[in-house]
């Protein structure tokens, strides 16, 4: 089984330096793209590969690039932001890619920048990723010294500056338009769309924002061709980094064909549940995705299959709920997170999320009222997509509305017994 | 209040962006790195350097949770309280830390050694529960590990 993204990653060891990366075939894709392909051809190759954004939204990457204004009339400078602000609770995949093979992430960034003919690229890195920051800084310097960055790259006449931008916290920065404001030195408040970043992004100029894992796929697609990518998995979308946390025997992260089933990931790779713990459910793709339960274990972890099952692939990193953990407490924890991380810009999110968290806390502490379940259900409607400025609050409602469905009995028991049965 | 080193480090970033204000978050971090936190004087100095108003900069400084606008202890302990760590025993760790340090979340020990802060997911969930002390991430944390960790800092700092 091919594992292009993690083939050269050995946790616990120093990552490949420039020379090691080149010896392993690194920067060949960059040479191929710049010397043998036009920017349009690079975009088409990625479009044909059907690569979709790995940050959570799953938007087709090539399509995003194809929206960028090209040619002599395009506004300049154009920007690419490499979104390495991994902050979705339960998600730890980009950390591995950045720590384990920084040059792969940089090569993908440069090729993507070439496809959209960007002049400047930034890696927007979350503050907590200290080791990735150190390794990226070193790798960027090496890439400049080797002539893969800077002026007239590989003698093609195309120039690109790449800078590392380390943030100072807040989940909302991962939202692409909030990220634009953060980059510009403002509060990270989302912007209204349209205009989309490719129309008016950083400092009003055309901008593309792509996730780390997405960009790491790019060199391999260029090296091997789009057909290779579509043949790697049954769902025709390459590989995916899947993670599992919670009371399983071997929590961890694995690169597997896109569309591997939840059961295989949980049982074969994460080793199944720890002794004394029973599986009750799973949030398949980070905090802002809907719970799936036992009946969904054979669902394939690809964009379409997970959506058909009523959830989202999201980041592909699962959080497992076991029988010794209170589902109401878990949802309370999630809603508290979203309430705290709301940027405060729009009223439904700023007021609705703390309200939701307070109701859940009351239920958890045995002070829930019979009407609270209807109140919570109402919140999921009030904070539904398009009722708020961005996707934060609708995302927060996903685990809540699915918990109300799958764990209804547990909510009711809290209210009727006036206590948490797990305490 | 800005030292010449602070100023040099901030100005080094100017060529990376088309505006000076884009450097402001980095500038706040530069000051914090050397001085532990960002006081009003530093806000005024950075704002002047970046041609912003102090209020404008303060609105940004108070938005980002890793910019400290109040003094913190010599070491900042960030305890992850997001979902994976919550499942894997965050509460036990928090209770142990607050008891051992004699402070609650958001406080600093009277000797100025440790500040204890809650924090969102630190992106190491396969090793939950997780905490960070200054720049170091610690995974699979147990109460015993916390004891050893705190003792280690006490020894390192020569107490």
Is the Cβ–Cβ distance between A78 and A117 less than 8 Å?
yes
- Residue of A315, B158, B136 whose CA lies nearest to B149: B136
The CATH number fitting domain A327-417, selected from 1.20.1440.230, 1.10.1040.10, 3.30.70.1140, 1.10.10.10: 1.20.1440.230
Domain region containing B22: 4-61
Interval A155-199: pLDDT, tens:
999 999 999 999 999 999 999 999 999 999 999 999 999 999 999
Query: What CATH number did the domain enclosing B43 receive?
Result: 1.10.10
Nearest CB to A337; choose among B60, B66, B120: B120
* Identity of the residue in A127, A187, A322 whose CB atom sits nearest the CB atom of B60: A187
Separation of alpha carbons A15 and A106, rounded Å: 13
**A166 CB burial (10 A radius; 0-12, 13-18, 19+):** buried
Average pLDDT, stretch A346-364? 97
Nearest to A287 among B26, B67, B83 (CB): B83
Q: Give B137-140's long-range contacts (Cβ < 8 A, gap of 24+).
A: B137/A128, B137/A130
- The confidence band for A11, taking pLDDT boundaries of 50, 70 and 90, is confident
The whole-number pLDDT of residue B159 equals 52
Mean pLDDT score, B43-61: 98
B-chain residues near A322 (CB < 8 A)? 87
- pLDDT digits over A122-156, tens only? 999 999 999 999 999 999 999 999 999 999 999 99
Number of domains composing chain B = 2
Instruction: Give the minimum alpha-carbon distance from A181 to chain B in angstroms, rounded to a whole number.
Output: 9
- Count of A-B CB contacts under 8 Å: 134
Hey, which residues does A15 pair with through a beta bridge? none
Contact: A330, B16; criterion CB under 8 Å: no
Give residue B158's pLDDT: 67
Instruction: Check residue B118 and give its pLDDT.
Output: 97
Best B126, B129, B130, B141 residue to mutate vs chain A (most A CBs within 10 Å): B126
Superfamily name and number for A18-230: NADH-ubiquinone oxidoreductase 51kDa subunit (3.40.50.11540)
Q: Are residues B90 and B48 in the same domain?
A: no
Per-residue pLDDT averaged across A227-233, rounded? Answer: 92
Domain ranges of chain A: 18-230, 239-322, 327-417
pLDDT band of residue A87 (cuts 50, 70, 90) is very high
Topology classification of domain A239-322: Ubiquitin-like (UB roll) (3.10.20)
Contact A287 B21 (CB under 8 A): no
Residue A417 buriedness (CB in 10 A; 0-12 / 13-18 / 19+): exposed
Considering just the CA atoms, what is the radius of gyration of chain A in Å?
22
The fraction of chain B above a pLDDT of 90, given in percent, is 95
> Does B101 share its domain with B146?
yes
What is the model's pLDDT at position A306? 97
Lowest mean pLDDT among A123-137, A229-243, B10-24: A229-243
User: Which of B18, B35, B61 lies at the terminal end of a domain, its last residue?
Assistant: B61
For the packed helices A372-382 and A408-417, what is the interaxial angle rounded to 10 degrees?
A: 140
Selection from A375, A417, A418, A421 nearest residue A400 by Cα: A375
Query: Of chain B residues 94-123, which have a CB less than 8 A from chain A?
Result: 120-123
Alpha-helical (H) ranges within A78-129 are 93-100, 102-115
Q: Determine the average pLDDT of the residues in B98-114.
A: 96
CATH number, domain of B103, equals 3.40.30.10
Query: CB distance B120–A91 less than 8 Å?
Result: no
Decide if B49 touches A, using CB distance below 8 A: no
Hey, which residues 138-157 in chain B have their CB within 8 Å of chain A? none
The arithmetic mean of pLDDT across residues A86-91, rounded, is 96
Please, what is the average pLDDT of chain A? Answer: 97
Give me the interface pTM, i.e. the ipTM. 0.97
Residue B125 to residue A251, Cβ atoms within 8 A:
yes
């Amino acid at each position: 089984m091919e594992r292009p993204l993690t083939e050269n990653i050995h946790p616990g060891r120093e990552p490949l330096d420039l020379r090691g990366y080149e010896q392993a075939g690194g920067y060949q894709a960059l040479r191929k793209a710049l010397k043998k392909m036009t920017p349009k051809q690079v975009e088409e190759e990625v479009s044909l590969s059907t690569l979709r954004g790995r940050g959570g939204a799953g938007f087709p990457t090539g399509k995003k690039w194809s929206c960028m204004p090209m040619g002599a009339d395009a506004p300049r400078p154009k920007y690419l932001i490499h979104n390495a602000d991994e902050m979705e609770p339960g998600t730890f995949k980009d950390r591995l890619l950045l720590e384990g093979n920084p040059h792969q992430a940089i090569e993908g960034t440069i090729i993507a920048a070439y496809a959209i003919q960007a002049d400047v690229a930034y890696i927007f890195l979350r503050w907590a990723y200290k080791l990735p920051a150190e390794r990226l800084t070193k790798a960027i310097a090496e890439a400049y010294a080797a002539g893969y960055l800077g002026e007239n790259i590989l003698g093609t006449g195309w120039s690109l500056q790449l800078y590392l931008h380390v943030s100072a916290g807040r989940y909302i920065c991962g939202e692409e338009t909030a990220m634009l404001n953060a980059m510009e030195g403002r509060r990270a408040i989302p912007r209204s769309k349209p205009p989309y970043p490719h129309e008016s992004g950083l400092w009003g100029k055309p901008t593309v924002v792509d996730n780390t894992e997405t960009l790491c796929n790019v060199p391999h697609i260029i090296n091997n061709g789009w057909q290779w990518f579509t043949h790697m998995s049954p769902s025709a979308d390459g590989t995916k980094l899947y993670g599992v946390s919670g009371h399983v025997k071997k929590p961890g992260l694995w690169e597997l064909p896109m569309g591997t089933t939840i059961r295989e990931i949980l049982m074969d790779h994460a080793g199944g549940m720890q002794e004394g713990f029973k599986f009750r459910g799973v949030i398949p793709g980070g905090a802002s995705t809907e719970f799936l339960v036992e009946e969904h274990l054979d669902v394939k972890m690809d964009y379409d299959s997970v959506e058909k099952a009523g959830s989202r692939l999201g980041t592909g990193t699962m959080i497992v709920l076991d029988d010794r953990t209170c589902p109401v407490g878990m949802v309370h924890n999630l809603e508290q997170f979203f309430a705290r991380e709301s940027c405060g810009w729009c009223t439904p999110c700023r007021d609705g999320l703390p309200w939701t968290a307070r109701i859940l806390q009351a239920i958890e502490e045995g002070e829930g009222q019979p009407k609270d379940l209807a109140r919570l259900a109402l919140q999921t409607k009030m904070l539904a997509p398009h009722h708020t400025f961005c996707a934060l609050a609708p995302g927060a409602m996903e685990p809540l509305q699915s918990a109300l469905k799958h764990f209804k009995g547990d909510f009711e028991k809290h209210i009727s017994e006036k206590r948490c049965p797990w305490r | 209040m800005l030292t010449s080193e602070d100023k040099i480090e901030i100005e080094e970033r100017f060529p990376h962006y088309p505006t000076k204000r884009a450097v402001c978050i980095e500038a706040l971090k530069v000051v914090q790195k050397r001085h532990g936190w960002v006081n009003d004087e530093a806000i005024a100095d950075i704002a002047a350097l970046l041609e912003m108003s102090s209020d404008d900069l303060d609105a940004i400084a108070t938005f980002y949770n890793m910019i400290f606008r109040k003094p913190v202890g010599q070491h900042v302990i960030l305890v992850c309280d997001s979902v994976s760590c919550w499942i894997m025993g965050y509460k036990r760790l928090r209770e142990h830390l607050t008891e051992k340090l004699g402070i609650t979340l958001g406080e600093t020990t009277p000797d100025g050694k440790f500040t204890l802060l809650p924090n969102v997911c630190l992106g190491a969930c396969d090793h939950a529960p997780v905490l960070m002390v200054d720049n170091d991430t610690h995974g699979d944390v147990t109460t015993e590990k916390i004891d050893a960790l705190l003792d280690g800092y006490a020894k390192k700092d020569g107490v």
